[in-house]
Amino acid sequence: MVSFHPDSRFLTDFTTGSLPLSEALCVSAHLYYCGKCRARVQQLTDVGSHLFNQLAPETAESGDDFETLMQRIEQNDAGEPVSDDLATSSRVSVSDPLVGRMPSVLGKLFQQGLDSLQWVQLGRSLRIAPVDLGDERRETALYDIRAGGRMPEHEHRGEEITVLLKGSFSDRDGKYSRGDFVVRNAGEAHQPTATQDTDCVCLISLERPVKARALFYRLLEPLVQYRLSRFSN
């Protein structure tokens, strides 16, 4: 049961195509698990479709040339309409069963299996694999928290989005399970704990601090801060 959803800004920007890739992946992963939000995105698409339909039509400067278009089509293929080339390619064969159950956009990103990612082990119960999307503003990563594992309490300098792909975790604000879309704003501290029975895998999109640093240290930053604060007490 999905109980935490993206707000109107996320869903609207996702629908209009203006949401940057890192956040769009998170929304897309949530949609895979949430029929309610899929229906909302469908309604938003209908809004776009109505606005589209009301645009003042623009005729091509040289006039609309249907024959030229048909020639291009016939050159490109034998004129054979394909049912849906995307549907046929949307499932990749993957050996990793968890990846196989992921939304297909993630399935393709991780088709080599999760073990082939560059994991950084942080303590006993947490490992992090950065995902390079070429986005300057945000970090994207997979977090794998061992069953029962507790992350150190940490605070973010920027907005953090978490989408649960497997298992569940809880913090003082609630319990989250697969598909939940959890947003923490800059300055909010939390200490997530994975439930006892199963490992927890999350997709994370984290707003980058203004200060640019090496990726490894940026990922470590919340934890380093935690350790420092613990030692200084």
Partner 1 sequence: MQETGIEAGADPWAQCLEQIAEHRDRAAFRKVFEHFAPLIRAFLLKTPGGNWTQAEEITQEVMIKVWRKSGSFNRGKASATTWIYTIARNTRIDFIRRRDRKERRVAIEDMWHEAEASEEPLVDLQQKRAEARIRAALAELPDEQAQVLFKAFMEGKSHNEVAEELGLPLGTVKSRIRLALGKLQVMIDR
Q: Within positions 83 to 122, which residues make up the interface with partner 1, using CB under 8 A? A: 83-87, 89-90, 103-105, 108-109
CB of 67 to partner 1, least distance (A): 10
CB of 53 to partner 1, least distance (A): 5
Q: Which is nearer to partner 1, 57 or 124 (CB)?
A: 57
- 82 near partner 1 (CB under 8 A): yes
- 197 near partner 1 (CB under 8 A): no
| Residues in 37-66 at the binding interface with partner 1, rule: CB under 8 A | 38-61, 64, 66
Angle, helices 21-33/35-53, rounded to nearest 10 degrees:
120
| Residues in 121-140 at the binding interface with partner 1, rule: CB under 8 A | 132-136
Angle, helices 8-16/35-53, rounded to nearest 10 degrees:
50
| Residues in 135-194 at the binding interface with partner 1, rule: CB under 8 A | 135-136
Q: Which is nearer to partner 1, 86 or 232 (CB)?
A: 86
Q: How far apart (Å, rounded) are the C-alpha atoms in residues 171 and 124?
A: 19
Using an 8 Å Cβ cutoff, are 59 and 26 in contact?
no
Q: How far apart (Å, rounded) are the C-alpha atoms in residues 114 and 106?
A: 11
Candidate ranges 35-43, 112-120, 121-129, 163-171; the one touching partner 1 (CB under 8 A): 35-43
What the block records as the tokens of 90 is 């949307």
CB of 95 to partner 1, least distance (A): 20
Q: Catalogue the long-range contacts made by 15-18 (C-beta closer than 8 Å, 24 or more residues apart).
A: 15/41, 15/44, 15/45, 15/48, 16/48
- 69 near partner 1 (CB under 8 A): yes
CB of 88 to partner 1, least distance (A): 10
Among the listed residues 229, 222, 225, the one whose alpha carbon sits nearest the alpha carbon of residue 192:
222
64 Cβ neighbours under 8 A, 6+ residues apart: none
Q: Which is nearer to partner 1, 69 or 147 (CB)?
A: 69
CB of 153 to partner 1, least distance (A): 29
Among the listed residues 120, 127, 103, 84, the one whose alpha carbon sits nearest the alpha carbon of residue 38:
103
